[in-house]
């Protein structure tokens, strides 16, 4: 049995695509997942399964559509992949800055990211790095003000779901307890 992290995109935002974590946990258990744990309402799940990650993404999205009437993007990572993304963080920050560091988890390695376009959008205080299937963004002036955060996905050319360093650290802690 493998341990996975599922990152759901676009749920429980602004009163739309509501999905209680209790319901999400039950849906995963119906799919044969074990030891299902969720973290906050934005769709972070750690679980064990005998299935493969690529099929799990589609099955989880379809189960949510059947139950809730909408189909979110679901990215499933194996435990070592998630842990490697955290270890590869090129921008260490202390706890007081954890909300300024974001990891954008990509569905695939981008073939032709517009790195020049990304550099042009970055403010003088922002730093970013694209490593494999992860877009690291340190935005000390706030992610909500960042043009790079707003347009990064389009310039990278691959769908991504974003988590701040606090969330990444909490998911790592959940993984460590397994």
User: Can you list the residues of the chain whose pLDDT is less than 70?
Assistant: 14-15
- Predicted confidence at residue 54, as pLDDT, reads 77
Q: What is the model's pTM? A: 0.94
Q: Which CATH class is domain 2-81?
A: alpha beta
- Predicted confidence at residue 53, as pLDDT, reads 75
Domain boundaries, the chain: 2-81, 88-176
- Predicted confidence at residue 15, as pLDDT, reads 67
- Predicted confidence at residue 138, as pLDDT, reads 97
60 backbone dihedrals φ, ψ, rounded to 5°: -65, -45
- Predicted confidence at residue 28, as pLDDT, reads 97
Structure tokens at 145: 């003000």
């Amino acid at each position: 049995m493998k341990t996975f992290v599922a990152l759901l995109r676009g749920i429980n935002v602004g009163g739309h695509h509501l999905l209680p974590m209790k319901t999400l946990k039950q849906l995963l258990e119906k799919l044969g997942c074990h030891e299902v744990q969720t973290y906050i309402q934005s769709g972070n799940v750690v679980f064990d399964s005998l299935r493969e990650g690529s099929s799990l993404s589609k099955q989880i999205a379809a189960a949510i559509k059947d139950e809730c009437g909408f189909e979110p993007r679901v990215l499933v990572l194996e435990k070592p992949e998630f842990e490697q993304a955290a270890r590869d963080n090129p921008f260490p920050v202390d706890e007081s800055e954890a909300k300024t560091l974001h990891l954008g988890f990509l569905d695939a390695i981008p073939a032709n990211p517009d790195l020049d376009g990304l550099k042009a959008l970055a403010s003088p205080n922002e730093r970013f790095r694209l490593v494999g299937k992860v877009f690291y963004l340190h935005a000390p002036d706030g992610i909500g003000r960042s043009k790079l955060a707003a347009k990064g996905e389009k310039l990278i050319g691959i769908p991504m779901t974003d988590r701040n360093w606090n969330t990444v650290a909490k998911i790592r802690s959940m993984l460590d307890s397994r």
